């Protein structure tokens, strides 16, 4: 069995949202990055936790999942965000750039239809802070059809926690063991 995909969001997962006082967790370090198509004198400030790099590398090295960026950062996740965390170049889901003013234009995460098509019938664990109940229903239906699917949803103000990756590893290990049995 091919390892399941690990779809990884950036904003609200690796880059937490500021709290009401505008501050970010003290675990995170400031970086200024210049996304593709943006001028060098107009960088974007991001806050990243170096511990995330180590935690994600542990998951990647275990070989139980195939990691893929799934973020509005698109290719920039691989070229700008990953290296700051010490991650190797990873592929990304080539999401479109819809003209939307909400992340849930149809009541569910805007990425989902693209992810659904991209995955086809591949098993996947998807970490994103922005799922709605309709996304959870989609995942449950997928799993009920026999395509292992897990959604992991960090609190966007806290971002990814070690226990989220523990859950990913446990889920992927059980899946691998079930296929080997």
> What is the contact surface with Mg ion in residues (CB under 5 A)?
9, 11-12, 129-130
Residue 110 burial (CB count, 10 A) = 17
The residue number whose beta carbon is nearest to Mg ion equals 12
Would you say 9 or 76 has its CB closer to Mg ion?
9
Would you say 76 or 130 has its CB closer to Mg ion?
130
Give the closest residue to 149 by CA, choosing from 12, 16, 4: 4
CB of 139 to Mg ion, least distance (A): 16
Distance from C-alpha of 39 to C-alpha of 17, rounded to nearest angstrom: 24
Would you say 129 or 135 has its CB closer to Mg ion?
129
Contact indicator for 3, 64 with CB cutoff of 8 Å = yes
Classified as helix, coil or strand, 141 is helix
Residue 66 burial (CB count, 10 A) = 18
Contact indicator for 124, 7 with CB cutoff of 8 Å = yes
Would you say 113 or 179 has its CB closer to Mg ion?
113
């Amino acid at each position: 069995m091919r390892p399941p995909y690990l779809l990884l969001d950036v904003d609200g997962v690796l880059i937490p949202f500021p709290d009401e006082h505008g501050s970010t967790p003290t675990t995170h370090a400031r970086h200024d990055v210049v996304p593709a198509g943006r001028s060098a004198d107009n960088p974007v400030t991001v806050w990243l936790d170096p511990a995330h790099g180590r935690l994600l590398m542990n998951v990647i090295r275990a070989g139980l999942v195939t990691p893929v960026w799934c973020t509005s950062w698109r290719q920039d996740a691989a070229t700008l965000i990953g290296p700051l965390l010490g991650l190797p170049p990873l592929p990304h889901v080539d999401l479109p750039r819809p003209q939307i003013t909400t992340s849930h234009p149809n009541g569910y995460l805007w990425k989902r239809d693209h992810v659904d098509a991209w995955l086809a019938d591949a098993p996947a664990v998807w970490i994103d802070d922005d799922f709605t109940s309709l996304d959870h229903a989609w995942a449950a239906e997928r799993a009920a059809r026999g395509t292992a699917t897990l959604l992991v949803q960090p609190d966007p103000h806290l971002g990814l926690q070690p226990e989220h990756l523990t859950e990913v590893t446990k889920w992927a290990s059980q899946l691998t063991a079930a296929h080997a049995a």
